[in-house]
Amino acid sequence: MEISKSKSHLKRMPLSERVFDIGIKCLFALIIIGILYPLWFIIIASFSNPQAVANGEVLLIPKKINLEGYKALFSAGLIWRSYLNTIIYTSVGTLFQLVVNLPAGYALSRKELVGKKWVVAFFTIPMFIGGGLIPTYLNIKSLGLLDNPLVLIIPGAVSTYNIFVIRSFFKENIPETLWEAAQMDGCSTIRYFIKIVLPLSKAIIAVIGLWVAVGIWNSWFDAMIYIKNQDLHPLQMILRRLLIINEGIGSGAASAAGNASNEMMRQRSEMMKYAAMIVSTLPIMCVYPFLQKYFNQGALIGSVKE
């Protein structure tokens, strides 16, 4: 029924508008294909024979199914431990950032906040002026967070941008009349925030939670700077080390002509590269579709505006 209505509407449109409409749809279809195809290619390349990938035989479906890349990747001793570390860091870090930033955003959304302009300025300045790597390292060291898992959770817990997005969402979507009614019923500020505001803010919680989770999941620089103990390294740090090592092996093997074992090492390096991409992105790709429905409501309505 809806299709027939759209077709009849299209027929009633002038020729120039129909051509423009079809052109826009074709353009967006090409953009979608351009975004999705590289992702699909990485997936099928990780299951294909590297020689077939190098020869351009792999286009839409895997060729000569080969799981050696995944076997070599997961045979590394620290990969499973680092995977668990990343899951813990992401889960705890995301929860901690929500606990810190949601109340801060709510407080900044209240008109009765004393010294609101000064508080906003206090949050805004660090967005544009950073302390630098060396002072930050010395600060982390003085706090006793070196080689401590908390260094990947606590220092980055406050995000000014996320706080401002949360503040805007609360100002635009939580009616002031709710607070007035809650006051008449004797509800305290904390209870109002927990019992009324948070249940009405699932969209912004989902959006901010996903932003934070993706950031922590993909993070490796802080671990490289502050953590020396390999047992505490996140997944991205281990994958980075494995790829660098195998890249060096592959380059050395490629420069040695005519040796079958060297060619095999180069192919193994290529297989591990594609497998590492899939392993590192698969959990986020699985979670994202379930939170996508909140993005229009949370990210657009909660955009920074005054």
Q: What percent of the chain has pLDDT over 70?
A: 81
For the segment(s) 76-232+287-300, the CATH number from 1.10.10.10, 3.40.50.300, 3.40.630.30, 1.10.3720.10 is 1.10.3720.10
Instruction: List, in order, residues 6 or more apart from 11 with CB less than 8 Å away.
Output: none
Sequence ranges of the domains in the chain: 2-66, 76-232+287-300
**Residue located via tokens 């409409």:** 21
Helix/strand/coil for 256: coil
Q: Tens of pLDDT along 142-188?
A: 988 898 999 999 988 888 889 988 998 898 888 888 888 888 888 88
The answer on pLDDT for 219 being more than 90 is no
pTM recorded for the entire structure: 0.76
CB 42 within 8 A of CB 58: no
Q: d(Cα 229, Cα 264) in Å, to the nearest integer?
A: 32
Given pLDDT bands bounded at 50, 70 and 90, which one contains residue 251? low
